[in-house]
Amino acid sequence: MSALTAFEVQSFRNGNWKIETIPDSKDLAVHQAEQVILHPAIRKVRVVQEAFDPKSAEQKFRTVFFRDKNAVGKPPAQSDAPGALAAETAQAAPTARLSPKAPRRVGAVGLILKFALIVSVGIAAILALRYFGANL
């Protein structure tokens, strides 16, 4: 089974990164990010690719697009190498720091997997009730 991939369009305003949309493809995510950055209150925008490998249960994040209204000159080149993150992007788009009391952000793939687990447990419970109810 191949890795599950999701994209998030995130905007930076008031000192925090916020998820704007979770589109289906990288091209759509980049297009939406280019539209989001046009809003006057938004200073930065990025597209984060989230990949989950079911075999290794490993979750990877990488920035595939970044735009900063305050940046002078040409925007940094984007790298398509797996796990790569341009040094300029890493400096310009720091990862949001969570306080010890703040809940951990769950990505789109994580939410999908949690939902699938809850549905599976529910179905198993219904089947168990039907089986044991018929055999009492």
Q: Are residues 47 and 76 in the same domain?
A: yes
Measured over the CA atoms of residue 76, residue 81, residue 82 and residue 83, the dihedral's sign is negative
Q: Are residues 47 and 19 in the same domain?
A: yes
- pLDDT grade for 46, boundaries at 50, 70 and 90: very high
DSSP per-residue letters across 23-72: -SSHHHHHHHHHHHTTSTT--EEEEEEEEEETTTTEEEEEEEEEEETT--
Residue 14 region, left (φ>0) first, then alpha (ψ -120 to 50), else beta? left
Q: Are residues 46 and 79 in the same domain?
A: yes
Q: Are residues 63 and 88 in the same domain?
A: yes
Structural domain of residue 128, as residue ranges?
106-136
Q: Report the alpha-carbon distance of residue 88 to residue 85 in Å, rounded.
A: 8
Q: Is the pLDDT of residue 49 over 70?
A: yes
Q: Are residues 118 and 89 in the same domain?
A: no
| Phi, psi angle pair for 133, to nearest 5° | -70, -35
Q: Are residues 70 and 115 in the same domain?
A: no
pLDDT at 31: 94
Q: Are residues 91 and 122 in the same domain?
A: no
Place of tokens 């190498």: 81
Instruction: Say what percent of the chain tops pLDDT 90.
Output: 27
Q: Are residues 49 and 72 in the same domain?
A: yes
| pTM, entire model | 0.52
- pLDDT tens readout for residues 62-106: 999 999 988 755 555 444 444 443 333 333 444 444 344 444 555
- C-alpha distance across the termini of the chain, in Å: 40
